[in-house]
Amino acid sequence: MERSIKVVVIGASTTGLVTARKLKREGHQVILFEKNNRIGGTGVYDRRVESNPLGMDPGREIVHSRMNHSLRVNLPRQLMGFLDYPFVKKEIGDPRDFPGCEEGGKEKERDKKMLVCTHPIS
């Protein structure tokens, strides 16, 4: 690479985390912004539902989650990691090849530790 540039990634969703990781590994200076107090974006399971699901009440509680309790991914866990950072059964504690929403949250918290502690982004 010829030069390192400063890059801002908006949102610590799965896409934002992967993008920040790739840019950092390419030698760029990366800052990752997330508006919520957790990483994962709308991929984080939240058992709450909006008080007005049609969105007609401007004062409603807004819940940003596309996950539901019975949702399963359609990719085997072997494809969901990196060669140097696999999504392995023994660390997560779920023996299924197609993990559920609760395992994705644990994986994202593990990713946060990898990004913040091992490979600082900001």
Residues 6+ apart with CB under 8 A from 13: 39, 40, 41, 42, 43
* Average pLDDT taken over every residue of the chain: 70
What's the rounded Cα separation, in Å, for the pair 39 and 51? 24
pLDDT at 92 exceeding the cut of 60: no
Q: Considering the entire predicted model, what is its pTM?
A: 0.55
- The stretch 74-96 carries a mean pLDDT of 67
